[in-house]
Each structure stands twice: as C-alpha cells, then as structure tokens.
Amino acid sequence: MVKAKMLVTGASGKTGFVVASRLREEGWPVRALVRANDAHRAALERLGAEVVVADMFDVEQLTAAARGTQRAYFVPPYHPNMIHSALAFARAARAAKIDVIVGMSQWLASPSHPSLLTRQHWLADEMFKELPGVGYIKLNPGHFADNYFRFVDFASLLGILPNFTGDSRNAPPSNEDIGRVAAALLMRPEAHVGKSYRPTGPKLISTHDVAEVYTRALGRRVRAVPVPRWLLIKSARRSGVRAFELLSFATSLTDHHQGAFELGAPNSVVLDVTGKPAEDLEITARRYAALPQAKRTFGRVARAWLGFMLTPFLPGHDLATYERGIAIARPAAARFSMADEAWRSERGGANVHGLPELGPTHAMT
C-alpha cells in the first residue's frame, strides 16, 4: 500500500515535531513546514522528513508546500491575524487536493468569546469543515501541561511555581500526547472525519498539585505562589512574551478560574485514539526537569533571584493600549465559556470526545 504524504505545519513546534516524529517512526512520508532554517530543520531531516521553509501567511508559499501531499496537520500561528493564515492554508489545501486536515483548535473556541484568537479558532473550524472534498478533524485540547512546565526554571532555581489559576482544576495534556493523537488521526482518519477530539491528561489537578509533582521531579521543595495580574504582565514582558500572546493567555485564565477546563475532563481520548493511555503528569515533569534551563548553579540561582526581585519595578505590556492599537472588534455580547449556554451545551455531556459537532461528514477523495 502506498502511504499518503503528510504535510505537517509548525513542524519545529511543541506538537508539530511530535507529529512529524511519530509519522516517520511509522514509515509515513512527511513534508515538514518550518518558518526558518534553524536547528530544528536538521533534527527533522535526521528523521527523514522533507523540510520546507514557508511563511504561514503567504498563499503562494503555502500552495507550493502543500503540492503533492494528501493529508495535513494545521497549527495556526499565535497571531492577531491568524484567520488570514487559515484562509491561505485552506486555499493551498484545495489547490493540492488534500483530502484530510487535522486542525489544532481550542477547547474554548466560540463565536462570542472575549478573546480574538479564540473567536478566530472557531471561524477557522467552520471554514475547514465546509471545504468541499476535504475531511476535517478538529483537535481541541484545553490548557496544556506546557503552560505549567514552562516555569521549570522558576521551580528549579527559586522553588516557586507561579499560580495564576488559584484552586481551579484542569486535566492538562502533554505536548507528546497531543502530538500522538494528531498523528494517529492522520494515519487512520476514516472513522474520525467530522469529529472533534479533546485529549486530556489522566486526572484533574490544580496548580498546587503541579507544585507537588515538581517537588518530586526536581528533588527539592516547590511551592505554588499566587501571582497577581499586574506582576504576570511585567514578568511576561521581561521574559519576551509578546503582547498578543499574553493577552490571549490572560483571557483564558478567566475561563480556567470559572471551571471551563474542568468540564468534560479527564477523558479517554488519548487511549481511544492511540491505544496507549495518557502519560502521568510526573513523567511529563521529569522530561522538563532534565532541560538545561532547570540546571542549578550558584550563578544561575543568583541571577534568578535578582531578576525576581527587580520584576515589580520593570515596565509591563499595556494591554489596553495594545488592544486599541490593533483595533480588535468585539462581539455585541461577548461571553466567557462557562457563561455561554451554546458552548456549554455542546461540551457539557459526560462523553464529550468524538462529539459529531461538525455537521455533515465530508467524503474523502
């Protein structure tokens, strides 16, 4: 049997690299799309992937990258004009006669959410599901485990895990599990076209629970420390987080506090789709604990404490001015997820994975 050629966008990213790796392990031909020639290109080429550099907003480059592929993993860029990238990719997919797209969406996606990015995810889903001759499978994970473990340097060097979510809970999926699910859907899409899948971790946890996992993984005491919004904004700017990324993340924290990520979690999506259970959070934590930024030295600890003490006195992003500057249009009646009756009714069942919420199933060519 001739295996379909897979186009993997965001192939140097957190889930895209996992998808490309899993597909190559199973012998599927992969064209990996990256934004620049960097160290990730060499790693992808070592996997046996064909690597293409392309701008995710350039229709001509995307069309050339898609040519000759049959299935695709689409990861939209974290950008205020994300929907333009989705439109460009839809055009490229039609031109290439791609028959299946697995698209990265959001658990929160809705047309009335306060977050521009979240509303654009909903629009992109609606557009992809209506593409003639294209089978669309929506992947809509919630709050990633990576959102907790990106602070591994804080945890290792300072013994602190910033707590933005209070006592609210989530069943966070690892990047590896999300990628494994996406790869499995691409390899065996027939039973999944027209459906929506939300991979989760194996159990509901709070940030306090994550701190305990950090403690075991790092071998030193880590405490969850409440962080006010103003300090988050200053710390994010100091760390190089862009204003739009911070705005989208900060908005989702309200949903987290209101229990949106607890709804329908945990579930068995990872096991059902891949045949293997979701990995335990401690396994994920130990992978992050082995990263170079988690290594403790006297100099790194001293610099971390100095930066921590200076952060309150540094400037932060002015999110209100940023929003006005990019002229974000808002829905007439913007609603967070748990206050949105339509959103809750679509996701409120005990068995939310595999929900046939995408309308008629498109035939695959």
Asked whether 69 and 98 are in contact (CB, 8 A), the reply is: yes
Report the candidate in 105, 100, 94, 322 with the shortest Cα–Cα distance to residue 196: 105
Tokens (6 digits) for 262: 């607890």
Asked whether 61 and 95 are in contact (CB, 8 A), the reply is: no
Report pLDDT for 327.
81
Tokens (6 digits) for 227: 């962080």
Cβ within 8 Å of residue 66, ≥6 positions away: 7, 72, 89, 92, 93, 95, 96, 98
Average pLDDT over residues 262-281: 96
What is the pTM (predicted TM-score) of this model?
0.92
Average pLDDT over residues 72-78: 96
Report pLDDT for 330.
85
Asked whether residue 1 carries a pLDDT value surpassing 80, the answer given is no
Report pLDDT for 2.
81
Q: In residues, how long is the chain?
A: 365
Q: Domain spans of the chain? A: 6-147+171-199+343-347, 207-264+280-338
Average pLDDT over residues 152-178: 96
Would you place residue 40 in the very low, low, confident or very high pLDDT band (cuts 50, 70, 90)? Answer: confident
Asked whether residue 349 carries a pLDDT value surpassing 70, the answer given is no
Asked whether residue 352 carries a pLDDT value surpassing 50, the answer given is no
Asked whether 165 and 207 are in contact (CB, 8 A), the reply is: yes
Tokens (6 digits) for 215: 């403690």
> Residue 38, Cβ neighbours under 10 Å: how many?
11
Asked whether residue 353 carries a pLDDT value surpassing 70, the answer given is no
Would you place residue 31 in the very low, low, confident or very high pLDDT band (cuts 50, 70, 90)? Answer: very high
Would you place residue 123 in the very low, low, confident or very high pLDDT band (cuts 50, 70, 90)? Answer: very high
Average pLDDT over residues 103-111: 96
Average pLDDT over residues 65-74: 97
- Let me know if 135 is exposed, middle or buried by CB neighbors in 10 A (0-12, 13-18, 19+): buried
pLDDT in tens, 332-348: 999 999 999 999 998 87
| Mean pLDDT for the chain overall | 92
Would you place residue 56 in the very low, low, confident or very high pLDDT band (cuts 50, 70, 90)? Answer: very high
b/e per residue, 234-260, with b = 16+ CB within 10 A?
bbbbeeebebbebbbbbbbbebbbeeb
Residue 101 has phi, psi (to 5 degrees) of: -120, 125
Average pLDDT over residues 270-275: 97
Asked whether 15 and 179 are in contact (CB, 8 A), the reply is: yes
Would you place residue 363 in the very low, low, confident or very high pLDDT band (cuts 50, 70, 90)? Answer: very low
Please state, in angstroms and as integers, the Cα–Cα distance from residue 88 to each residue in 79, 133, 183, 272, 301, following that order: 14, 17, 23, 32, 45
- Tell me the CATH number of domain 6-147+171-199+343-347, given options 3.20.20.10, 3.40.50.720, 3.40.50.2000, 1.20.120.640: 3.40.50.720
Would you place residue 364 in the very low, low, confident or very high pLDDT band (cuts 50, 70, 90)? Answer: very low
Would you place residue 295 in the very low, low, confident or very high pLDDT band (cuts 50, 70, 90)? Answer: very high
Average pLDDT over residues 318-344: 90
Report pLDDT for 95.
96
How far apart are alpha carbons 304 and 149 in whole angstroms? Answer: 17
